[in-house]
Structure 1
């Protein structure tokens, strides 16, 4: 008689907080990060190669962000009603098709400005439905006191992909042109959509029927507006993202073309920013600041430096160093922000609150990118870049005047009731007596 013994279970190579969904979400984000970071540079140079100028680059960038603003709130409500992974896959499919056609037109030399603007708008529409679903899915996937570490590793993977994608994209644009970079981005969306199709949403409670879309939007608004720390920072970033986004999308490629040697140099600068975000994420895997938003907001100040460096303009090595610092500091804010949302917002409202967050954060981006060209003509590129930097500093200082931003405290999971009062201290902890309401 032959007997067999059961082999001992192999220990998991993944930490307890890195479950199946988390791993799939991270892998998909890495894939799309590799494609999209290079594609952003490629789209700008595709417009320039087609005979466009800085104003045309801004218009195409605005065409992508305009539908993002229009459809974000609807996307958030849909993501809290339907299985989030299906919304994500559908959005990835739209992005794959639109970017693939964009690449084909550029490669065949048939791309016109209106073609590029229309296809960019379709990509923005896909992003409007994808972003709230993706953020809600990630926030609902991670639990426990290691949430901050999980968010840091997720963002490290995503931003690390941006390093390779931006550097590779810049090199490929210089070598074979922007069309192939756009084609690779379309392929990346296809692969990421396949990965996200395997996400498990069984842990998410079924949504109650009824209420309607408008009811869901109003409920999300009440959740958003009731937290002063939340809407204050979103208002701040509505301007900060707009002016820095315009600097990166419009002025950055132009400065690179005129002073730094072209697409390869700008790709290197963006890769340095991505490297900084990885360093910031690595820091946040070990650092757990108690006052989440106070630390995070202070770290927004260096985010103003890259625009100032482009205004000078600094040579490429110095610009890369400034971009590295800016990336590291803004990543500290990003991890702190995600941890605050995870701690304070009820799971069933995550996508709607994320939609209001995204809506505020990108609402002024189309206007800023569209006006970047006219602003350059009216005030000069240097003055416009200094203005981007100054607005970032002033608005960040203003947000620090909000008491809840200074006081929102990290709470241990046992003391955290999801959606509890913002800024409340955990049992056994008291607010710093030196702090008084502003």
Structure 2
């Protein structure tokens, strides 16, 4: 860890104050570009998600139309994820991410142009949103492998925490600013801003100097790469066990946040304002969790991370009991904090245990298992509440989170997998060792 120079030390800019604090020594140019591009693209995308919904509504669309357009993105994501993961392991990940950003910029620019100049049809909007899902399908597996390439592996925990901190902070800010801009200037201009953000992110990622450290193209087919990735995925019980767990847990979160939460807030808490406050508390919790993991390095990262899944049962319990807004917000904050503890431990485990040249393929299976059930959960949330009652359904959702997390903890690999010490490059092994010891 770098330290500040003593006041008496001469500096090249003597007599001038530094406007911004000097970044830590491990934060190099590439990692700053990774963080900046992540912040910009997520900032624009968070606002665009709101803008797309209101673009459909402004054209006379109803709830079914909104659902169809939203589902188009998820469907495209699920269909192309495995291909995206295989391509990201065959080509330099930097180029895959830049290409995905360019596709997202083009599709959002076309969407914005149609909204600003005419009356786009429902199928056109669904197609353009689907292209955004294709871009994400190629981008997400590639990004899993690029973060660690931009820093010394000895600082992986801090790097992952900072990466997720920038991403979550941008999504919180983007949702707030994007919602205000949609109300002020309309959804078309917000979509145009998102296209610009993706173009800027592509330009920043094109300047990364990490491609030389990545593996080049390999022989063999994409199908053989996918089979190889499946063998890596299915041979590790901790990996497929947690992915199965989160296939259900993410579905519960989707149903709670998209369906049950707004309904309970409208009927018992005073409407959209209190629910917005609760969602903001969850977002603040993710930021708090990211800051926590910048300092904390638990030795058994998967065990600690899996224990952090239990608080995700708190929001459905709070909604079932119809607690006051302040208590609901507190529970949402706890859930947001805990999930970041899991996320950082999960990323560390993937990078530590999966061969670097196969990481994107394995990440694609991770993403596929984690998101494929969420559209089904959103569609079945209403019928389930009608069949069993909303309160019983919420208790059942909380019970599923607790049950599946307990089952994952039965797996020996989850309980025993430990962080391996990685000496810092450049003769800093003693410093890294001291930091790891203090963190443990």
Q: Report the TM-score range of the alignment, normalised by the length of the smaller protein.
A: 0.7 to 0.9
Instruction: Calculate the TM-score normalised by the size of structure 1.
Output: 0.83
Matched, 1:66 2:66: no
Q: 1:185/1:384 Cα in 2 relative to 1: closer, same or farther (>3 Å)?
A: farther
Q: 1:102/1:395 Cα in 2 relative to 1: closer, same or farther (>3 Å)?
A: farther
Instruction: Give the match for residue 38 of structure 2.
Output: 29
Mapped contact 1:103–1:182 kept (Cα < 8 A): yes
Instruction: Give the match for residue 430 of structure 2.
Output: none
Q: Give the secondary-structure state (helix, strand or coil) at the position aligned to 2:218.
A: coil
Q: 1:28/1:264 Cα in 2 relative to 1: closer, same or farther (>3 Å)?
A: farther
Mapped contact 2:37–2:200 kept (Cα < 8 A): yes
Instruction: Give the match for residue 137 of structure 1.
Output: 146
Instruction: Give the match for residue 240 of structure 2.
Output: 231
**Which of 15, 21, 32 is matched with 2:24 structurally?**
15
Q: Higher helix share goes to which structure?
A: 2
Mapped contact 2:92–2:216 kept (Cα < 8 A): no
**Which of 118, 123, 128 is matched with 2:132 structurally?**
123
Q: Deviations over 1:123-151 (max 9, x none)?
A: 11110001011111113333332211111
Q: Deviations over 1:222-246 (max 9, x none)?
A: 2212211111111111111123124
Q: Displacement, 1:111?
A: 4.5
Instruction: Give the match for residue 306 of structure 1.
Output: 315
Q: Give the secondary-structure state (helix, strand or coil) at the position aligned to 1:110.
A: coil
Aligned mates of 1:28, 1:344 — CA distance in 2: 27
Instruction: Give the match for residue 211 of structure 1.
Output: 220
**Which of 184, 192, 196 is matched with 1:187 structurally?**
196
Q: Displacement, 1:8?
A: 6.4
**Which consecutive unaligned segments of at least 5 residues does structure 2 have?**
1-10, 425-440
Matched, 1:286 2:290: no
Q: Give the secondary-structure state (helix, strand or coil) at the position aligned to 1:288.
A: coil
Q: Displacement, 1:324?
A: 1.6
**Which of 358, 365, 372 is matched with 1:356 structurally?**
365
Matched residues, number: 411
Aligned mates of 1:70, 1:183 — CA distance in 2: 26
Farther-moved stretch of structure 1 (256-265 vs 291-300): 256-265
Aligned-pair RMSD on alpha carbons?
Answer: 3.1
Q: Displacement, 1:154?
A: 1.4
Q: 1:86/1:148 Cα in 2 relative to 1: closer, same or farther (>3 Å)?
A: same
Q: Give the secondary-structure state (helix, strand or coil) at the position aligned to 1:30.
A: helix
Mapped contact 2:92–2:215 kept (Cα < 8 A): no
Aligned mates of 1:90, 1:212 — CA distance in 2: 21
Aligned mates of 1:259, 1:189 — CA distance in 2: 40
**Which of 147, 154, 157 is matched with 2:163 structurally?**
154
Instruction: Calculate the TM-score normalised by the size of structure 2.
Output: 0.83
Q: Displacement, 1:69?
A: 1.1
Instruction: Give the match for residue 109 of structure 2.
Output: 100
Q: 1:94/1:202 Cα in 2 relative to 1: closer, same or farther (>3 Å)?
A: closer
Aligned mates of 2:126, 2:66 — CA distance in 1: 10
Mapped contact 2:85–2:142 kept (Cα < 8 A): yes
Q: 1:76/1:373 Cα in 2 relative to 1: closer, same or farther (>3 Å)?
A: same
Aligned mates of 1:33, 1:253 — CA distance in 2: 24
Mapped contact 2:265–2:274 kept (Cα < 8 A): yes
Q: 1:34/1:64 Cα in 2 relative to 1: closer, same or farther (>3 Å)?
A: same
Matched, 1:197 2:190: no
Q: Displacement, 1:167?
A: 2.1
**Which consecutive unaligned segments of at least 5 residues does structure 1 have?**
1-6, 416-438
Mapped contact 1:63–1:366 kept (Cα < 8 A): no
**Which of 314, 318, 328 is matched with 1:319 structurally?**
328
Instruction: Give the match for residue 166 of structure 1.
Output: 175
Aligned mates of 1:326, 1:351 — CA distance in 2: 28
Aligned mates of 2:263, 2:188 — CA distance in 1: 19
Mapped contact 1:24–1:199 kept (Cα < 8 A): yes
Aligned mates of 2:342, 2:413 — CA distance in 1: 16
Q: Displacement, 1:176?
A: 4.3
Aligned mates of 2:111, 2:317 — CA distance in 1: 33
Farther-moved stretch of structure 1 (219-228 vs 99-108): 99-108
Q: Displacement, 1:308?
A: 3.9
Q: Give the secondary-structure state (helix, strand or coil) at the position aligned to 2:27.
A: coil
Q: Give the secondary-structure state (helix, strand or coil) at the position aligned to 1:413.
A: coil
Q: Displacement, 1:300?
A: 0.8
Q: Displacement, 1:366?
A: 2.8
Mapped contact 2:302–2:415 kept (Cα < 8 A): yes
Q: Displacement, 1:212?
A: 1.5
Aligned mates of 2:191, 2:12 — CA distance in 1: 48
Q: Displacement, 1:39?
A: 2.8
Aligned mates of 1:175, 1:227 — CA distance in 2: 50
Q: 1:259/1:178 Cα in 2 relative to 1: closer, same or farther (>3 Å)?
A: farther
Aligned mates of 2:267, 2:123 — CA distance in 1: 26
Q: Displacement, 1:19?
A: 2.1
Q: 1:264/1:124 Cα in 2 relative to 1: closer, same or farther (>3 Å)?
A: farther
